[in-house]
Structures are given as C-alpha cells and as structure tokens.
Amino acid sequence: MKFKADQTSQKLRGGYYTPQNLADYVTKWVLSKNPKTILEPSCGDGVFIQAIANNGYNSNIELFCFELFDTEASKALERCKLNNFSNATITEGDFLVWANECLKKNKQIFDGALGNPPFIRYQFLERNFQEQAQLVFEHLDLKFTKHTNAWVPFLLSSLALLKQGGRIGMVIPSEISHVMHAQSLRSYLGHVCSKIVIIDPKEIWFEDTLQGAVILLAEKKQYPDEASQGVGIVSVSGFEFLQEDPNVLFNDTAGINGETVEGKWTKATLSIDELQLIKRVIAHPDVRKFKDIAKVDVGRYCDGANNYFLVDNETVKLYKLERFAHPMFGRSQHCPGIIYDEKQHIENQEKGLPTNFLYIDEEFEYLSKSVKNYIKLGEVEEYHKRYKCRIRKPWFKVPSVYSTEIGMLKRCHDAPRLIHNRVRAYTTDTAYRVSSTVTSTENLVCSFLNPITVITAELEGLFYGGGVLELVPSEIEKLYILIVEGLEHNVEELNLLIKDGQIERVIRQQGSLILGTLGFTQEENEKLVEIGRSLEIEGYVSRV
C-alpha cells in the first residue's frame, strides 16, 4: 500500500505539465472545427492557453479555464493578457464543484475541451475532492470505485459538458486502455463519441517520472443514435508524428468497435487480420475459458506481515518453530520454473530464502516458551495491532490456510505460468491457488503455455512499472486455454527450459504441439507467437 505521507508534492497535486509541442498538436486538432468556446479544466500555468495562441487562433475565443493553485492561476491569467485573450476567464478553485453544478442541470456548454488533467490517486485527494469526484459518476449514472484517479472524473465531466459534435483533446495516463478503475470512462467514451483515437508513444513524455502518458482525441456524436467508429490506437516513436496534420492522423486511424470499446482497449493495437485469427482460434471447441476448467483463489493473507509469518530455516531453528513451519512460495525467485518440488524447496533453503510459512494453530498458553517468545517478538513489533491481525483471535493464527496442486504468481515479467505444486506448499497473497476441474494437473500446467493464453493474458492484465504484468482472479478466469487430452508433455524438460530463460521457445513449442493437434498451421502458430510478443512489447512500454 502507498501512503500519502510518502508522496512528493508533485504527485499530490498531480502536476505533470505537458510539453509545449504536444499541447500545440492537440490544440490544433480541437481548433480545426472552429470552436467558439473552449474548456480547460486544469490549466496549470497556461500551456494550452499558449497553444491556442501558437496556432494563430482568433483571440476573441471564449476560454473557460480552472486551476486549483493560485500561483499557477496567476501565470495562466498573465498568458491570457500577453496573448490578448479578452474573453478568457481563469477561475481559481476546484473545477469539479463547478462541473457538478452544470451536470446537475444537464448543460452542454462547450464546443471543445483541452488539457492535461491532474494525475492524483483517489486515496490522496482531500475529502471534499473525493466527494466531488464520486458525484461526477453519480450524475452520469456510472459505476464508481475508490481506486479511481482524479483525471478520470475530470475527463468524464469535460466530455459531458461538451456539445454534440464537439472535440476533446487531452494528455492523460496510458493506463486508460487497461486499468479496471477506468472501465466506466471507457464505456462512457464509447457510448457518447463517434470516434476515439489514442496516440501511444514508445517513450516517456514526462521527465523524472515512470508515468506513461498518451494523447486522447475524441469527437462527440452529432446525434445520440449515431453509429460509433469505435477506438483506434496509433503507436508512435519520437516526435515525428507532430509534423503530420492531426486531422489526417485521426481520420486515417481505423477504429475497432463492439467489445473492444466496452472492455479494455488493448485489442485496438491489433490489426483486423490479427483479431480474426485470434477469434478463429478461441472459437474452437477445445479452446475454453479458464473459469470453465479450473478454480482460482487468492493465497492466504497475513496483512503485509510477511517478514513475520514467512521465515527462513535459521529463524525456525532459533525459536524451535519446526512443528508450525510449512513449505511455501510466493515469488518468482522461489519458483523460476513450472514445478515446485522438494528439490526446488531445498535449493531455496540453501539460498537462505524465507521458505517457511508459520501456521500456529494452538492457543498461546499451550505453546512452548520459545514459540511464545516469537509471538511476543511480533507484539513488540506491533504486528498484533495491524488491522487484519487485530480482528482475529488469536492474532497470530492466519485464516484461510490450505494448499492446492497448482499455484500461479500474481505478477510476471515475461509470460504468466502455472506452477505444479508437488509438495503442496502454501502460497502468500502474491500468488493464487488453482484447482483443475476438467483435466489433470500436469496437462493444465503444460497446456497453459501457449500463444493464445499469452495473448489473452496481455489483453486482460494490468501493466505496472518495470515491465510487470499483473492478473487478478477475475481476469485469469477470462483467459483462453487450449485443452487437448492424450497429449504427451515433457514437463521436466519444459521446467528446465523456463528456468533457463527460454519461455518464448516453450510457448512456440507448446503452441506447435497443441494448435497443430487442433488443425491450425505452423504459420498460424508463429503468427500468434508474434502477436503475443508485440503485445508484450506494447505492454512493457505502458508498464515503464
């Protein structure tokens, strides 16, 4: 968990200002429809105000700008004066308060909207800002989540205040394409816009931050029942795209409609031919959703006290905890392959890794002196005061403890994989417990390694910094798996190859075996491997 006290002032005010050349480009596209009124919901020091002037637009345009911080609002006002924008209004205060009053009256005011809304996690917002953010969702009858970020209600309200046929151009986090908390926004954009284009860079635009950003260009429908062209994503490298007319880029980008707009937008990076191949494969009767062949559950939860409940052999020996120590794994360093057996467990012990999960299921008074001392040590460290610990009795007994034959790490760097848990080790909350309901454990573990599962994992998962892909149970349940009975898998060989860093070779090899059995060609298997690799690269860029 991230705490407000640990964040920089820049993060807490969401202050990542747009480079002028990008602001000029976005503004050029919005201005090309000759708007008479423009909204800038978070104007900062006036970069987008300057962009209007840089594009040589009529200085009589009506500008409605909002900025929370007085020093920045003063700078924006000065820019208006320098550029002779006599019809510009700079309002110092919370834009969402004003926006909610307008939404309450169902007003559509502006011909265009521009900007770079603040990037601030909901948990770091002041209480009154949190209330205003939630109110935006309520006015628009959209599902709200406290995992949202300030830029989401800013974008939603700006779009709602736009007139029919109006344009909105904004620089926003790249996570718009895939995070679950932006699903209401994606659905709303797909519902009210005739076309949406995302310009997705391979570089980080904001210096001194890992925050990936994209340009959103969206045009609102002229009529509510107008057909939508959907969403299109353009991948760009460097700033050469700025030399192209943004209208040409917008018009030439093919949109993908239907399920893509309603779900995550990662699919929009694929070509029509690639999407058709994927659909043809998942339509095969032996290709099934994970939820139809297995159950997935989170690992046991110990409230972030891993250093206390997960210990090495030395700690077990020191406090004589042998009777309560059980094998465990929870990180890729514990299990670099697809098998967790006694050999792997011993290797981890020899490396000094925490390989023991402490499940103390007896009352305190019946425990030995050495075990009591360990519990007292935990109380000195105040583990017993942590929320999840203090609501259970006794605090040191972790609930929901059981193991399954299959485990799966929550996060991965290359491709997700199932782990054959041969020693029935327990898992932490960084791993999942999986049970096969249709086929053998070995067949499920080996069949999971194929290009179509890699592709659906990249499409469904969440991207994090450092090249990490995360899957939660609801996303795992949507993955497609190729299940064929009777195939011979050399699980030991696959395990060694993956431990040796050759997972792509394994994916290709397993895809060739399984897809070939289902009647697909080697060429189609190779194409699917390429699609998976391209999605991984796209995801890696978003992750970092």
Per-residue pLDDT for 23 more than 60?
yes
State how far the Cα of 111 lies from the Cα of 56, in Å rounded to an integer. Answer: 18
Q: Are 12 and 157 contained in the same domain?
A: yes
Residue 212: inside a domain, yes or no? Answer: no
End residue of a domain, out of 193, 211, 246: 193
State how far the Cα of 338 lies from the Cα of 456, in Å rounded to an integer. Answer: 20
Residue 208: inside a domain, yes or no? Answer: no
State how far the Cα of 231 lies from the Cα of 265, in Å rounded to an integer. Answer: 8
Q: Are 21 and 141 contained in the same domain?
A: yes
Instruction: Quickly count: other Cβ atoms within 10 Å of residue 124's Cβ.
Output: 18
Residue 287: inside a domain, yes or no? Answer: no
**In 3D, which of 406, 385, 393, 407 has the Cα closest to residue 360?**
393
Amino acid at 42: S
Per-residue pLDDT for 10 more than 80?
no
Residue 348 has phi, psi (to 5 degrees) of -65, -40
Residue 463: inside a domain, yes or no? Answer: yes
Q: Are 188 and 306 contained in the same domain?
A: no
State how far the Cα of 253 lies from the Cα of 510, in Å rounded to an integer. Answer: 35
Query: Which residue range is the domain that position 303 belongs to?
Result: 296-543
User: Which CATH number belongs to the domain containing residue 110 in this structure?
Assistant: 3.40.50.150
End residue of a domain, out of 159, 193, 227: 193
Question: Rounded to two decimals, what is the model's pTM?
Answer: 0.80
* 470-480 pLDDT, tens digit each: 999 999 999 99
DSSP-based three-state secondary structure for 22 = helix
Which parts of 228-307 are beta strand (E)? 231-236, 287-289, 294-298
- The total number of residues shown for the chain amounts to 544
Please report which confidence band the pLDDT of residue 256 belongs to, taking 50, 70 and 90 as the band edges.
confident
* 183-234 pLDDT, tens digit each: 999 999 999 999 999 999 988 887 655 568 999 999 999 999 999 999 999 9
Query: What are the Cα distances from residue 485, in Å, to 166, 441, 491, 520?
Result: 55, 12, 15, 17
Is the separation of the CB atoms in 468 and 337 below 8 Å? no
Q: Are 312 and 178 contained in the same domain?
A: no
pLDDT at position 500 is 96
State how far the Cα of 414 lies from the Cα of 418, in Å rounded to an integer. Answer: 13
pLDDT at position 8 is 45
* 293-306 pLDDT, tens digit each: 999 998 766 655 88
Tokens of 298: 């989170």
Q: Are 483 and 349 contained in the same domain?
A: yes
Per-residue pLDDT for 7 more than 50?
no
Percentage of the chain with pLDDT > 70?
92
Q: Are 302 and 186 contained in the same domain?
A: no
- Tell me which residue has tokens 């891993």: 306
Please report which confidence band the pLDDT of residue 539 belongs to, taking 50, 70 and 90 as the band edges.
low
State how far the Cα of 202 lies from the Cα of 535, in Å rounded to an integer. Answer: 13
Residue 288: inside a domain, yes or no? Answer: no
Residue 516 has phi, psi (to 5 degrees) of -60, -40
pLDDT at position 6 is 43
Residue 388: inside a domain, yes or no? Answer: yes
Q: Are 306 and 448 contained in the same domain?
A: yes
Q: Are 29 and 173 contained in the same domain?
A: yes
Residue 260: inside a domain, yes or no? Answer: no
End residue of a domain, out of 193, 218, 247: 193
Cα 391 from chain centre: 31
Work out how many domains the chain is built from and give that number. Answer: 2
Is the separation of the CB atoms in 291 and 438 below 8 Å? no
Q: Are 53 and 174 contained in the same domain?
A: yes
Residue 278: inside a domain, yes or no? Answer: no
